[in-house]
Chains A and B, each alone.
Chain A
Amino acid sequence: MQWGSVSDFFAMGGYGLYVWTSFVATALCMVWEVLALWRRRVAARAEQRAALLGGTDETTA
């Protein structure tokens, strides 16, 4: 392992800003995509259930 300390690790040999922006942006995109899909699924199922249970009654959704 090449890191002497935790701050060494975060500094990334002076390239910390670039390295961590890349990894954090990738992680955020993935988390956002999964959350967006989860919300989309909840919405789609609610709409489908409402339609199945008799049209306009929102309380059954």
Chain B
Amino acid sequence: MVNWSKYSSPQAFYPLAGRLIPWFAVVAVVLMGVGLYMGFFVAPTDFQQGEAYRIIFVHVPAAWMSMFLYVVMAVWAGIGMGLNARLSFMMAQAIAPTGAMFTFLALLTGAMWGKPTWGAWWVWDARLTSELILLFQYAGVMLLRTSIDDMRRADRSSAVFALVGVVNVPIIYFSVQWWNTLHQGASVSMSTGSKMAATMLTAMLLMTVAFWLYSIAVILARVRCIMVERESLPVWNEKPAVIQEAVEAR
């Protein structure tokens, strides 16, 4: 059994995160390579959308990550509020920029898909509009933090904002069912399974796992930066030789 609670302190979490980052990064790069190979060389041409459909190999994983990361950010924010845990707030803070990046990419690649298929870069349909709101929510979480000087108040305010905004995630997800959207329905569903060719689905899932592992790697790297920036003199992250040098210099 691993005693997980011992990693809940920044002192223990910092080196653990540092050891994990390369593994997540390497597996992410390998899976991205395999996913791109399958997406471009194994998956067949779509009989309706031609080669334009290949955008889904970045569009769908990016869109899924944008929603998933928002929920994870809100969960960390909630844990932070409940337990008053610094590390949880720092995790929420570390997730926001990566979530915002994937939201931006989902919108951008969606426009790249919309233009040739619908004839428009953008339409105000429920799916696109709610995803755009998600981008504003990420921006709100980050701006709220930077606009408040007091760290505890910044943590709590952005956590409340993140938690309230989580209602938008099911709206995005179910928008294609609830409203008559131009955006097509889910290609992969838990109730009806997949409507795609097996190789298309495999490539898309490989890219999704790769994006997920990439997210973990960059979020862990960012939370380590945040720890160094926020904790005054975190001696525990320095090498013993540097600490020795500092002690002798005093």
Contact = CB atoms under 8 A, between A and B. Distances in A.
Interface of A: 1-3, 9, 12-15, 18-19, 21-23, 25-26, 29-30, 33-34, 37, 40-41, 44-45, 47-49, 51-54
Interface string B199-226: 0000000000000001000100110110
B106 to A, nearest CB: 10
Interface residues of B, number: 44
Contacts of A1: 41-42
B190 interface: no
B222 A37 contact: yes
Given A9-B40, A15-B50, 4 more contacts: A19-B51, A19-B54, A52-B233, A52-B235
Contacts of A12: 51-52, 54
Contact of B249 (A2, A21, A48, A54): A54
Contact of A49 (B55, B97, B242): B242
B221 A37 contact: yes
Nearest to B61: A26
A30 to B, nearest CB: 7
Nearest to B54: A19
A40 B226 CA distance: 9
A33 B51 contact: no
Given A2-B45, A19-B55, A29-B101, A34 B218 contact: yes
A22 B113 contact: yes
A34 B220 CA distance: 12
B111 to A, nearest CB: 9
Nearest to B97: A33
26 contacts: A1-B42, A2-B44, A9-B40, A13-B51, A18-B52, A18-B115, A18-B116, A19-B54, A22-B109, A23-B58, A25-B105, A25-B108, A26-B62, A26-B109, A29-B101, A33-B97, A33-B98, A37-B218, A37-B225, A41-B228, A44-B228, A48-B228, A48-B238, A49-B242, A52-B242, A54-B249
